């Protein structure tokens, strides 16, 4: 990167809570946030918002008559964006850009309106405007009364980190001084769960940790879906309220060999991590927050890529999907949240069923990985 970009705040909402203190407290124990729920006659794992977060979303939904018919993805994003902008001290006149994406978008409303169409051969007036791809960023811009550009995209599970890349590009190119970036996802619906089950990757585990993300010896796929949003404020210069410096970013896309898989040694991650490191020596990275969704092939492929780049200097590896599930397009920024908390508190967040013998004494630099269907990998290096 020609010049560093700074993260000045982060707002989030997930199964872990909706404030930095609540999320950090949740990470201090080894309890996952999964529950079981019936979907089309079968009982499946899922990680919904906790009770206090649900109440916040319902208050938001009732706060404006126009918000009544919005999808949860939009409401999650509005909530997280309000929190991030408030912490950063941004006002409407701050003239910031917005780039918030989602892998699936208005999943719940799509299913609702499609069922309505099947039953009645017609659908509601709001079925189109409330399900468009640009719905999230547009409503966040409306809520915050921003005057900068509004961008939406879907790059599957690496969506949030691609939004971060885009914000950096706008700022570095001199087209904006500030950008609000992140991802939002509300995928806990019957059809979405059915899609993951059809891929044979959804968890059937019944022990204490039903998602075995980053466990390289597991015998079964163990991905579980969660919901939430995470959004950060980006600025140039060095603001006094900076939470972290973005020292490097990397990205890569593999040539497709299969609709959902990456190569066995995740060449996309090898390229993205190498690019993100730049002039930074591999042994300067203290922790990597991995993407590892809990699938046998996906987890192992990323580990092989890390091994190829870092050789004997493999940093401490951690992950949060064992605890809050895979939140698709929001997952990369929830991993950034995890990285920021570790940098702030100078304490690694451990995966309880993995060896923690190489815990770093001091955390100066953290790498965050994310990848989506088709090998769209992003790696980001953060420092305190």
Query: Domain boundary at 194, 211, 235, which?
Result: 235
By C-alpha distance, which of 225, 244, 232 is closest to 5? 244
| pLDDT score for 293 | 97
With respect to residue 157, please indicate whether it lies within any of the assigned structural domains.
yes
pLDDT band at 261 (very low <50, low <70, confident <90, very high): low
pLDDT band at 260 (very low <50, low <70, confident <90, very high): low
| pLDDT score for 158 | 97
Residues 250 and 308 in one domain: yes
Residues 73 and 135 in one domain: yes
With respect to residue 262, please indicate whether it lies within any of the assigned structural domains.
yes
What 3-state class would DSSP assign to 111? helix
Structure tokens belonging to residue 259: 């609709």
Q: What percent of the chain has pLDDT over 70?
A: 98
With respect to residue 241, please indicate whether it lies within any of the assigned structural domains.
no
| pLDDT score for 338 | 98
Query: Domain boundary at 235, 254, 283, which?
Result: 235
Computed from CA positions of residues 105, 111, 116, 117, in that sequence, does the dihedral angle turn out positive or negative?
positive
pLDDT band at 193 (very low <50, low <70, confident <90, very high): very high
In this model, does residue 278 exceed pLDDT 80?
Answer: yes
Residues 250 and 142 in one domain: no
In this model, does residue 375 exceed pLDDT 90?
Answer: no
* Rounded mean pLDDT, 116-122: 96
pLDDT, averaged across the chain? 95
**Cβ proximity of 155 and 71 under 8 Å:** no
Q: Dihedrals φ, ψ of 189, to 5°?
A: -130, 155
**172-189 pLDDT, tens per residue?**
999 999 999 999 999 999
What 3-state class would DSSP assign to 347? coil
Q: What percent of the chain has pLDDT over 90?
A: 88
**281-336 pLDDT, tens per residue?**
999 999 999 999 999 999 999 999 999 999 989 999 999 999 999 999 999 999 99
* Rounded mean pLDDT, 348-366: 94
pLDDT band at 256 (very low <50, low <70, confident <90, very high): low
Read off the CATH number of the domain in which 361 is found: 3.40.47.10
| pLDDT score for 258 | 58
**132-146 pLDDT, tens per residue?**
988 999 999 999 999
Instruction: Characterize the bridge pairing of strands 228-235 and 244-253.
Output: unpaired
Residues 206 and 262 in one domain: no
With respect to residue 190, please indicate whether it lies within any of the assigned structural domains.
yes
With respect to residue 240, please indicate whether it lies within any of the assigned structural domains.
no
With respect to residue 217, please indicate whether it lies within any of the assigned structural domains.
yes
For residue 344, give its domain range. 246-383
Residues 210 and 292 in one domain: no
pLDDT band at 7 (very low <50, low <70, confident <90, very high): very high
Residues 262 and 172 in one domain: no
Residues 191 and 321 in one domain: no
| pLDDT score for 108 | 96
- Where is average pLDDT lowest: 128-142, 152-166, 261-275, 290-304? 261-275
Residues 170 and 289 in one domain: no
Query: Domain boundary at 187, 215, 235, which?
Result: 235
Residues 267 and 314 in one domain: yes
* Rounded mean pLDDT, 194-208: 93
With respect to residue 135, please indicate whether it lies within any of the assigned structural domains.
yes
In this model, does residue 259 exceed pLDDT 60?
Answer: no
Residues 295 and 204 in one domain: no
Computed from CA positions of residues 226, 167, 18, 186, in that sequence, does the dihedral angle turn out positive or negative?
negative
Identify the residue with better confidence: 2 or 16.
16
With respect to residue 171, please indicate whether it lies within any of the assigned structural domains.
yes
In this model, does residue 257 exceed pLDDT 80?
Answer: no
How far CA 302 is from CA of 242, 251, 264, 333, 382, in Å, comes to 30, 14, 8, 18, 19
Residues 228 and 252 in one domain: no
Number of folded domains that form the chain: 2
* Rounded mean pLDDT, 54-76: 97
pLDDT band at 194 (very low <50, low <70, confident <90, very high): very high
- Where is average pLDDT lowest: 10-24, 76-90, 148-162, 261-275? 261-275
pLDDT band at 21 (very low <50, low <70, confident <90, very high): very high
Structure tokens belonging to residue 125: 């007036």
Global pTM value: 0.97
Residues 284 and 231 in one domain: no
Say how far residue 56 (Cα) sits from the centre of its chain.
20
């Amino acid at each position: 990167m020609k010049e560093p970009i700074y993260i000045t705040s982060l707002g989030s909402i997930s199964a872990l809570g909706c404030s930095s203190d609540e999320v950090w407290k949740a990470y201090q124990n080894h309890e996952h946030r999964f529950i079981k729920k019936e979907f089309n006659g079968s009982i499946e794992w899922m990680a919904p918002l906790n009770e206090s977060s649900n109440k916040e979303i319902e208050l938001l939904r009732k706060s404006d008559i126009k918000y009544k018919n919005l999808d949860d993805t939009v409401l999650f994003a509005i909530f997280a964006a309000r929190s991030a902008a408030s912490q950063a001290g941004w006002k409407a006149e701050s003239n910031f850009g917005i780039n918030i994406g989602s892998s699936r978008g208005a999943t719940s409303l799509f299913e609702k309106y499609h069922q309505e169409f099947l039953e009645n051969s017609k659908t509601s007036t709001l079925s189109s405007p409330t399900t468009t791809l640009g719905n999230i960023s547009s409503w966040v811009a409306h809520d915050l009364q921003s005057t900068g550009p509004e961008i939406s995209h879907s790059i599957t599970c690496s969506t949030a980190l691609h939004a971060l890349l885009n914000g950096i590009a706008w700022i570095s190119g001199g087209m904006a001084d500030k950008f609000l970036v992140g991802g939002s996802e509300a995928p806990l619906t019957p059809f979405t769960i059915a899609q993951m089950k059809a891929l044979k990757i959804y968890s059937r585990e019944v022990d204490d940790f039903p998602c075995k993300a980053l466990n390289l010896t597991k015998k079964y796929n163990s991905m579980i879906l969660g919901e939430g949003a995470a959004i950060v404020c980006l600025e140039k210069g060095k603001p006094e309220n900076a939470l972290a410096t973005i020292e490097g970013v990397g990205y890569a896309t593999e040539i497709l060999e299969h609709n959902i898989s990456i190569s066995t040694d995740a060449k996309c991650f090898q390229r993205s991590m190498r690019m993100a490191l730049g002039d930074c020596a591999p042994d300067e990275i203290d922790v990597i927050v991995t993407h590892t969704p809990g699938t046998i092939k996906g987890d192992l492929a990323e580990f092989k890529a890390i091994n190829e780049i870092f050789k004997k200097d493999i940093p401490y590896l951690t992950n949060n999907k064992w605890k809050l599930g895979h939140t698709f397009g929001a997952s990369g920024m929830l991993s950034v949240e995890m990285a920021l908390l570790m940098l702030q508190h100078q304490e690694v967040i451990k995966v309880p069923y993995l060896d923690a013998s190489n815990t770093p004494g001091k955390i100066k630099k953290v790498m965050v990985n994310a990848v989506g269907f088709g090998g769209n990998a992003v790696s980001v290096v953060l420092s305190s």
